Structure 1
Amino acid sequence: MNVTWQGVFPAAITHFHRDQSLDIPSTLRHLEQMIDAGIHGVVMLGTVGENCSLERQEKLDVLKATVDLVRGRIPVLTGVAEYTTAFACRYAAAAKEVGVDGLMVLPAMVYKSDPRETITHFRTVANATDLPIMVYNNPPVYGVDITPTMFLELADEPTLQVIKESSDNPRRITDLYNVCGDRYILFGGVDDLILESILLGAKGWVSGLVNAFPHENRLVWDLAVSGQWEAAREIYRWYTPLLHLDTHVKLVQYIKLAVQECGYGSELTRAPRLPLVGSERENVIGIIRRAIESRPKREC
């Protein structure tokens, strides 16, 4: 299917059994619940989906099951987070064979490439597939910054269609428009900056907390894009303590704990990520439960 680059795209979590093996049925059941809540697309195997904790065949198994479940109702993307450019190209080809609709491509993992190397990486992956690509820019986490001038240099690659802007700097959205015009579609990728991002021109939202609060997440989006800013701000202020959980190094554990508290699955992650304990766990659960008690619409 052609990807309509607009709306809320969860960075979906991957569910596991207690022995840390894949729990594909729970992953699919959770995805169906988010589809019912009105998501517009989905990114499987992003950072929140623990991409780098899965083996190659496990990733393809998750994608095949997802494509079979979705049946073209929404676009299905996969994160491409590999250690080398060649690995990324091969994974992109395998993902296309499985039937995904697009890719969310990250810089090569571990090694922090310089601008020339970064441009070469994305250009090479872009030339290795005809699937549409969302470029994921997250310098705070991955240590590689794809600047507006670098995106301008990459503008001749037709498969590079979207930028997931997660630089933690909302100025970037305006800078990208000023440098690149409307060449790229811009998505917000930082949960607790999304209202600001929509105001500045973001057309979509790759969200983590939507996994636990899909209805409220969609409500914020709908209010903002329809220009109901006062109502959007009210919901956003309620939501923001939760959205802050998306910006921590333990965002996967935090989001999965919220998913568990809201009845959509379990908090189980793969080592080296471990369940939260002690005061950290108490603090995060407190944030989640206070939000549940005061939520503006539905109950978990």
Structure 2
Amino acid sequence: MNFHGILVPLVTPFHDDLSLNISGLAELTEALISRGVTGLVVCGTTGEYYALNETERATVLSTVSKIAKGRVTLIAGINDLSTEGAIARARQAKELGYEGLMLSPPPYSLPDQQGVYAHYKKVAASTPLPIIMYNFPARIGIEIEIDTVIKLAEIENIVAIKESSGNFSRALHLLQTPFKNFEVICGCDDQPVDFFFWGSKSWIAGAGNVFPSEQVAIYNAAQAGDWQKAKQIMSEIYAVIYSMESGDYNQKAKAGCLNGKFNAGPVRLPLTNMEPQIRNEFVKLIKP
């Protein structure tokens, strides 16, 4: 599974009546592929996986797979409140042709580190697919502690961690840990240049829905050692990134989709849509 480059956690387009917009999903999938992204993460947090019923989830996963399989890397988000639920979602992803999985600790239950380790170990044993762990304590309520990451990295099909804590001191510690066959992926939209400078080769960012070409250009510049260009592009999009990280992230990922030129529709409850004035102010930040 190639996950080096820009992987976009796809938004799920809805019609104004909140039904799935399948033609829009297909169009967005094609558009992101055409802009040179390495892969797509489907049914992740940015895709509002928690607001999809099981039939809709299968429809979203299968729609993207039919279009993108063999063209870009396909990763399925398999988060669930229970370990058994995540195992079932891993099985579904494999059946639908996905190459990899992304998994956080279970939200809400607040497991201790022994529980976190056991959760990942059991899911990994249930599937041949490679797993990217997802550390996002602001969403999940607990952190995958560094010692736990090191232990889990010894499991053959746990291949990476998406690091979204926002704490770059922690990220730097992980980036300088001598892992074998295990990588640290940038999961903070405002830190990619820092991650790339210290050796990360991947960026999974919801803002990729907004700036796919720009993020691919940042990655390419970093890989070429052109740090001035990478910093320049990041500076150009930073106001939008900062706004997204400051609140209403999913709403802004949709409002700004493809440089604000693609209508991804509303969000579903429990999220609420932005007021028109706030939405318009955000879209104005996006430079075509």
TM-score tier after normalising by the smaller chain length: over 0.9
Q: Which runs of 4+ in 1 moved over 4 A?
A: none
SS in structure 1 at match of 2:273:
coil
Paired residue for 2:285? 290
Instruction: Give the letter for the 2:283 counterpart.
Output: I
Paired residue for 2:207? 209
Paired residue for 1:265? 263
- 1:266 is displaced (CA, Å) by 2.9
- 1:181 is displaced (CA, Å) by 2.7
Distance change in 2, residues 1:132/1:260 (3 Å): closer
Distance change in 2, residues 1:153/1:32 (3 Å): same
Partner of residue 108 from structure 1, selected from 103, 106, 117: 106
Counterpart contact for 1:137–1:164, Cα < 8 Å: yes
Establish whether residue 122 from structure 1 lines up as the match of residue 120 from structure 2.
yes
Instruction: Give the letter for the 1:291 counterpart.
Output: I
Paired residue for 1:227? 225
- Counterpart Cα distance in 2 of 1:63 and 1:74: 14
Paired residue for 1:85? 83
Partner of residue 172 from structure 1, selected from 170, 173, 177: 170
- 1:119 is displaced (CA, Å) by 0.9
- Counterpart Cα distance in 1 of 2:111 and 2:95: 29
- Counterpart Cα distance in 1 of 2:53 and 2:173: 37
Aligned runs of 1:6-21 on 2, under 5 Å?
6-21=4-19
Paired residue for 1:295? none
Distance change in 2, residues 1:24/1:112 (3 Å): same
Write out per-residue CA displacement over residues 175-234 of structure 1, whole angstroms, 9 at most, x where no aligned residue.
Answer: 124445344111100101111111122110001112122211211111122111112111
- 1:135 is displaced (CA, Å) by 0.5
* Identical columns (%): 27
SS in structure 1 at match of 2:28:
helix
Greater alpha carbon shift after TM alignment, 208-217 vs 89-98: 208-217
Q: TM-score, normalised by structure 1?
A: 0.91
- Counterpart Cα distance in 1 of 2:177 and 2:212: 34
Greater alpha carbon shift after TM alignment, 52-61 vs 129-138: 52-61
Partner of residue 235 from structure 2, selected from 222, 234, 237: 237
SS in structure 2 at match of 1:273:
coil
- 1:17 is displaced (CA, Å) by 1.3
- 1:250 is displaced (CA, Å) by 2.0
How many residue pairs are counted as aligned between the two chains? 288
SS in structure 1 at match of 2:19:
coil
Where does structure 1 lack aligned partners over 5 or more consecutive residues?
293-298
Distance change in 2, residues 1:126/1:287 (3 Å): same
- Counterpart Cα distance in 2 of 1:232 and 1:71: 30
- 1:164 is displaced (CA, Å) by 0.5
Establish whether residue 189 from structure 1 lines up as the match of residue 187 from structure 2.
yes
- Counterpart Cα distance in 2 of 1:185 and 1:135: 10
- Counterpart Cα distance in 2 of 1:155 and 1:222: 27
- Counterpart Cα distance in 2 of 1:284 and 1:233: 27
Paired residue for 2:38? 40
Where does structure 2 lack aligned partners over 5 or more consecutive residues?
none
Counterpart contact for 2:252–2:282, Cα < 8 Å: no
Counterpart contact for 2:207–2:241, Cα < 8 Å: yes
Instruction: Give the letter for the 1:156 counterpart.
Output: E
Higher relative contact order (CA 8 A, sep 6+): 2
Give RMSD over aligned pairs.
Answer: 1.7
SS in structure 2 at match of 1:192:
coil
- Counterpart Cα distance in 2 of 1:266 and 1:155: 36
Write out per-residue CA displacement over residues 39-78 of structure 1, whole angstroms, 9 at most, x where no aligned residue.
Answer: 0111011110001111122111111111111131111111
